[in-house]
Chains A and B, each alone.
Chain A
Amino acid sequence: MSTFGAVFGEAFRLIGALDLALLDIVWLSLRVSLSAVLISTVVALPFGAALAVTRFPGRDALVVTVNALLGLPAVVVGLAIYLLLSRAGPLGTFGILFTPAAMVVAQAVLIFPLIAALARQAVADAWREYAEQMRSLGAGPVASSLALLHDLRFSLVTIVLAAFGRAIAEVGAVMIVGGNIDGVTRVMTTAIALETSKGDLPLALGLGIVLLGIVLLLNVGAHLLKERAQRHHA
């Protein structure tokens, strides 16, 4: 393909032009994926930690299930959420299909197993060191989980970033539940899919490079913050 030069040219043109429509798409991508990550994190971190520090019947089955859900294709998540949110579905009365809210729901569901499984693993590893001390202090599962999540915050940042990466790079689910509506639910990935459909491969790849750049910037920011904090805590 002689188009690689054209691709980078297109990417720089897109960035240089600061096209308003593109900015809208970028902003929506960030808004949707950050919201999904926030919602999912608030639920999945305590859930994963609880799985690590408590013992109850069926716990192992639950752990295996959560780990297996990591392999769930985004399209399947999208379809399931579509059927739930459709007017003919059980949650149809909310009328949020083909809105950004539906995309947030789909992405939050999609990344939940990722955050929960990795958080469980991280907490379980640390728990071996902490368990006796926590029980000696009289800390129950809730206090122990929260303390461990706090102590593991630097590793958890990496997990949350991975989840964000999966959310913002995902196309199958948001295409189905968002509908790729111009100006309403069109995000970076669905725009890329659309331009690919139109055969405008340089523009599609140019958008891809812009997406990569955004994810990279976020990761650099998070990394610097993490480094600073970690140096402080040794």
Chain B
Amino acid sequence: MREPGPPMLPLVLEGIGFSAGGRDILSGIDLVLEAGPRTVILGPNGAGKSVLMRICHGLLAPTSGRVLWSHRERPGEPRRQAMVFQRPVLLRRSVLGNLTFALAVVGVPHYEREARAVAALGRVGLAAHARRPARVLSGGEQQRLALARAWMLEPEVLFLDEPTANLDPGAVREIEAIVQSIHASGTKVVMVTHNLGQARRLGDEVVFLDRGRIVERSAIDRFFRTPATAQADAFLKGELPWH
């Protein structure tokens, strides 16, 4: 295995704004994400949570402000951050093939790929499905495969955008267990969720977003017990679901 290089974290967002179609989706975001605690991004629909996460991950460029990693990823080297989406995008090939493709993309040599992919499948309980076409898996299995794909490269940060939104309770429990293991293996987890129970189970701290701004940031217990702002209070009481 390759030397990991100096850590990327902390990630510093400075004065981030993002607008699309003349509408401000994010404005004045200042945020520092440190290695370690699991960060849960909460907020009503349309608050800009997914956009914020995509800006962190580099999928969207902010309209204003700066995204500063302690060390930037070097182009041409395996990525040190990963993201799992609400709906996993799997390639029309075998379960194993999806993983070896991701390894090939980041330049892992041919002879290493299969062993690493098989190991990754074992960690998410999909070893028995290695040769099946990925798109015939159930929704929960597909999401576990997406997690395996993200975990396989041992990223420093893993972004999760509502990873259990469309799944049944059994599948949600499996996904949550995997996310715990990923964190336990040393990966920083940043997650958007609508499921407050999940936020409590998986989160160490909360970043609360409302109308494109960070309104509150606090430890998970304090956020749920004594929210510091009226917006967070209303959100927790279910009065702020939409804008």
Contacts and interface: CB of A to CB of B under 8 A. Distances in A.
Direct touching of A and B (C-beta under 8 Å): yes
Interface of A: 129-130, 132-133, 135-139, 143, 147, 150-151, 153, 232-234
Contact of A136 (B57, B101, B135, B136): B57
A151 B149 CA distance: 18
Chain B's interface size range is 20 to 34
A151 B92 contact: yes
Contacts of B92: 150-151, 153, 233
A135 B102 contact: no
Interface of B: 54, 57-59, 78-79, 82-83, 85, 88-89, 91-93, 101-102, 104-106, 133, 135-136, 149
Given A233-B92, A234-B136, 19 more contacts: A132-B54, A132-B59, A132-B89, A133-B89, A135-B59, A136-B79, A136-B85, A137-B79, A137-B102, A137-B105, A138-B78, A138-B105, A147-B91, A147-B101, A150-B92, A151-B93, A232-B133, A233-B133, A234-B135
Contacts of B88: 133
A142 B102 CA distance: 14
Nearest to B89: A133
A135 B102 CA distance: 11
13 contacts: A130-B89, A132-B59, A136-B82, A137-B79, A137-B102, A137-B106, A138-B79, A138-B105, A138-B106, A139-B105, A143-B104, A143-B105, A150-B93
Contacts of B78: 138
B88 to A, nearest CB: 8
A168 B93 CA distance: 32
A118 to B, nearest CB: 19
A232 B92 CA distance: 10
Contacts of A133: 85, 88-89
A233 B58 CA distance: 32
A140 B102 CA distance: 12
A147 B57 CA distance: 22
Contacts of B105: 137-139, 143
